[in-house]
Structure 1
Amino acid sequence: MTQKLILVLNCGSSSLKGAVLDNDSGDVLLSCLAEKLNLPDAFITFKFNGEKHKVDLSSQPNHTGAVEALMEEMKAHGLDSKIGAIGHRIVSGGELYSESILVDDEVMAGIEKCIPLAPLHNPAHLLGLRAAQSIFKDLPNVVVFDTAFHQTMPKHAYTYAVPQELYHKYGLRRYGAHGTSYRFVADETARFLGKDKKDLRMVICHLGNGASIAAVADGKCRDTSMGLTPLEGLVMGTRSGDIDPSVFSFLAENANMTIAQITDMLNKKSGLLGLSGLSNDCRTIEEEAAKGHEGAQLALDVFVYRLAKYIGSMAVAAGGLDALVFTGGIGENSELIRSKVLGYLGCLGLTEDHEANLAARFGNAGVITTADSKAVAVVIPTNEELMIAHDTARLSGL
């Protein structure tokens, strides 16, 4: 084991993943997952030496509480003194950053400047950065941007049909997100299938509380569903995804809502939460839908239908479809969502292998379509933390 380990912090809109990795071997020495952040029943689960234990975060059910709990756990295992560098996932670097970079005051200011492009995430990332800087004062911090992978999109894919002076003056364009995950999953899918990624036309579905989809051909991103901000695209945990922009004027005139109120609603009160009236957690939605809850059933139906439509459009962007890939918390673990999506895709020649779909859960990769399908659908667990660790070690000279 190397004496210089990498601590990776990956703050999502309602979650925080943390991991201490040996970059040489890829071994994870300590990991954690904080879930249901900003909900009363928030908690964080730690795994060390194969043993798990859960810590309640109800007294401080936010990202700061989760980071503090992680730091205490590291100290308890004597790992804090062995950390050589800290890597952070950042959703949006706008056009300021096209690749990973060492953190300094200017970079912190740049990430803050990009908050309007990722209003749920960038503030959470900054919390993680500041917590790490305060505890490990002499260690380098590296930020890895989810927008970087999508810089290979052709201009016709990232350009909005608005006056182009808005792009030139303000950077109004599509940026995408989840790029760190897509980088890993594209490589891993090719390895799993025994193919060269340059020979695969992939549509990758990263499904979690934040959800997106990307078309990858020749190993490069050709299009993705998220846009200027992570609000565009698929239905998500609390985000609406695609919606008529005239909703703003409609609600302003008829509901006396301000732009800020509407933006907050579309980002934090819509999606699965808004449709179901219950929760943004897909597990809860599936459980309640099975019991006959109409709101939960509607949330599932809208989520799946929108995703299936996007898969068709991304197959066009990729120039065809060789592999449909499911990843992320929902994509890796919900056989129900995958089954419902594949049910729509018979027109593309995909047929579900039910038993294989059931088996491909809880970290298990696997092909979930029948042998006679025209394209293969596969579940590939993502590992954003490992990608972040590699970039962090390289840029910090470890």
Structure 2
Amino acid sequence: MILVVNAGSSSIKFKLFNIKDIKNPISTLDGLAERISVDGKLTIEINGEKHVFESEMKDHLEAVKLILSKFTELKVIGKPEDIKGIGFRVVHGGDKIVKTVELTNDIKKTIEDNIRLAPLHNPGALTSINAFQASLPNAKLVGCFDTSYHQTMPEINYMYTTPYKWYTDYKVRKYGFHGISYEYIVYKAQEIFNKKQDKLNLIVCHLGNGGSICAIKNGKSYNTTMGLTPLAGLMMGTRSGDIDPSIIQYISKETGKDIYEITDILNKQSGLQGVSEVSSDMRDVIAAAEKGNKKASLAVELYTQIVADFIVKFANQINDKIDGIIFTAGVGENAGVIREKVTQKCGLLDLNIDSNLNDEKYSDYLVISSAKSKMPILKVRTNEELMICNQTLKFL
């Protein structure tokens, strides 16, 4: 068994894989321990059936013990030691971690050092790693980092036009995120296009509540939209994406709010939520726009224009034959109207979507471009958990 873990400050999301066939790991369950240190709730889903347990979990260690005991109780494992490897999603590895690694003490120190770059995400990951290590001391612990895939970006694409000392002294640079998803898409694209990874040129749009785009050149990250933090780049569910930085000072003067309050607003009250004043969920915003809500319509038009602009920019930077433009994640996989509007706004690229294919149901991937399109356009279901599972397997 291999367990895949995505932990936050008060939650542990997990998926368990059975490895009877190394080439085809089978997901046996997934679940969520939430409200850790508050009142505690554990949900485990097996074959569509949900098992819910209300239980006080004062910390991550108690949550882990509860998770493992329920695995045994539900007979998905014989004993906790059946779990031979645990793969952790970690958001930030800084500029030192460039691939999936075993979670040694040195690596854990690096995760700790990068808390300043990911204060909302890295502490929960580190706490969870320590909790599983205490409960399953013989399991192999592996870290998959959202930032590591982007460490192949050239300097011209990761540097900011700020004082160079900010880079050397404070590590101010573009890091990029969603790397595990991009890595999976490239892995999948080898099969789709029947090409080796180092021959693939792709533009991948990972559009969810958080969103980013990655220019992939010769199978490697060449540029991406998120920056030092996930606030940069695209308009998202509640994040503003790129704005004039002087807006922060201006709003501070006008409202008396400090920089922390304003940054919090840019992270949690902007994007689709802020412009539409309807919702941060694209489904709600589209529904409101279709009913004539002008702010919701504006939000959809803004969102799709910004995505299109980055696609055209990245196509120019790749400056070579592009194998495909791929839409993935919650919005990218499921919102046909967004895919259609985005491609219509990429005028210079002569993209064209087949409306029937765009709306067609699919389980894995589907080419949705028409014969008129100069580039293939696809919708592909990402699978970060499977990617983490496969990476963890390599260490076993």
TM-score, L = length of structure 1: 0.85
After superposition, residues 222-237 of structure 1 pair within 5 angstroms as: 222-237=222-237
Which one-letter code corresponds to 1:261 in the other structure? E
Equivalent in 27, 48, 51 of residue 51 of structure 1: 48
Alpha-carbon deviation of 1:123?
Answer: 3.7
Please say if 1:339 is aligned against 2:336.
no
Q: Which position in structure 1 is the counterpart of 2:144?
A: 144
| Overall identity of the aligned pairs, in % | 37
Following superposition, the deviation at residue 290 of structure 1 comes to 3.0
- Secondary structure, aligned partner of 2:233: coil
Q: Could you tell me whether the CA contact under 8 Å between 1:333 and 1:360 is conserved in 2?
A: no
In 1: Cα distance, 2:52 partner to 2:282 partner: 22
Partner of 2:180: 180
Please state whether the residue corresponding to 1:114 is helix, strand or coil.
Answer: helix
Give the 3-state SS of the residue equivalent to 1:221 in structure 2: strand
Aligned in 2, Cα 1:289/1:159: closer, same or farther, shift over 3 Å? same
Q: Secondary structure at the match of 2:345?
A: helix
What's the offset of the Cα at 1:326?
A: 0.8
The one-character-per-residue Cα deviations of 1:171-201 (angstroms, maximum 9, x if unpaired) are 1111111111111101212311223343332
Residues 1:375 and 1:235: Cα distance change in structure 2 (over 3 Å): same
Amino acid of the structure 1 residue aligned with 2:48: E
Report the Cα distance in structure 1 between the residues aligned to 2:280 and 2:3, rounded to whole angstroms: 29
Match of 2:252 in 1: 252
Cα shift at 1:22:
3.4
CA distance, structure 2, for counterparts of residue 267 and residue 308 of structure 1? 22
Question: Please, what is the CA RMSD of the aligned residues?
Answer: 3.3
Q: In 2, Cα distance between the equivalents of 1:67 and 1:293? A: 46
275-284 vs 199-208, greater mean Cα deviation: 275-284
Amino acid at match of 1:10: N
Structure 1 residues 79-228: aligned runs within 5 Å: 79=77, 80-228=80-228
Moved more, 205-214 or 89-98: 89-98
Residues 380, 46 of structure 1: alpha-carbon distance in 2 compared, 3 angstrom cutoff: farther
Taking a change above 3 Å as real, the CA distance of residues 369 and 73 of structure 1, as seen in their structure-2 partners, is farther
* Corresponding position of 1:311: 311
Whole-Å separation in 2 of the counterparts to 1:245 and 1:20? 43
Gaps of 5+ in 2: none
Alignment check: 8 A CA contact 1:35 1:44 kept: yes
Indicate the SS of the match to 2:166.
helix
In 2, are the aligned partners of 1:331 and 1:379 still within 8 Å (CA)?
Answer: yes
Q: CA 1:165–1:252 in 2, change beyond 3 Å: closer, same or farther? A: same
Q: Aligned equivalents of 1:217 and 1:46: distance in 2?
A: 39
Structure 1 position 277, deviation (Å): 2.6
Tell me the equivalent position of 1:20: 16
Q: What corresponds to 1:356 in structure 2? A: 357
1:78 corresponds to = 76
- Which 4+ stretches in 1 moved above 4 angstroms? 11-17, 33-38, 43-47, 54-57, 63-73
What pairs with 1:253-292 in structure 2 (closer than 5 Å)? 253-292=253-292
Per-residue CA shift, 1:284-304, capped at 9, x if unaligned?
333333333344333322221
Instruction: Note closer, same or farther for the CA distance 1:224–1:37 as it changes in structure 2 (3 Å cut).
Output: farther
Letter in 1 for 2:231: L
The alpha-carbon distance between structure 1 residues 258 and 308, as it changes in their structure 2 partners (threshold 3 A), is: same
> Which letter does structure 1 place at the counterpart of 2:30?
C
The letter of the residue matching 2:232 is: E
The CA distance in 1 between the partners of 2:334 and 2:62, in whole Å, is 26
Post-superposition offset of 1:19: 1.6
Q: CA 1:227–1:244 in 2, change beyond 3 Å: closer, same or farther?
A: same
Report the count of equivalent residues.
Answer: 386
SS of 1:298's partner is helix
Bigger Rg, which one? 2
Over 3 Å counting, the alpha-carbon distance change for 1:66 and 1:309 in structure 2 is farther
| Distance apart, 1:372 and its partner CA | 2.5
AA matched with 1:348: L
